[in-house]
Amino acid sequence: MVRKTGQRSGVLLLRAWIEEGTPDGLRVRVIKVEQAGEPSAMVAGTVEATCTIVANWLRDLVSANPARSAT
């Protein structure tokens, strides 16, 4: 694996399970880890909410890319 110095990266971990008593029967814990930060967790109860969390995280990652603003 080739790694550039100064490269921004992060990890998004999803743990999903079926939970009785919730409207969609779904519960998802999303754990976000940035390079120099503490992990943070969010919870979603639908596929759509989970997709929104992932999409927002990817948009944040892309918008912080200095090479993107240079083009």
What are the residue boundaries of the structural domains of the chain, listed by start? 10-65
Q: How far is CA 24 from the centre of its chain?
A: 21
Tokens 């998004």 label which residue?
A: 12
**Model confidence pLDDT, tens digit, residues 43-67:** 999 999 999 999 999 999 888 776 6
* pLDDT the model gives residue 5: 54
Note the helical H segments in the chain: 47-63, 66-69
> What pLDDT does 69 receive?
54
Q: 6 or 69, which is more confident? A: 6
pLDDT in tens, 3-35: 555 677 889 999 999 998 878 899 999 999 987
Q: Against a cut of 0.95, is the pTM above it?
A: no
pLDDT of residue 51: 98
Contact 19, 26 (CB under 8 A): yes
What is the 8-class DSSP label of residue 57?
H
Q: Whose CA is closest to 32, among 63, 56, 5? A: 56
* Percent helix / strand / coil, the chain, rounded to 5: 30, 30, 40
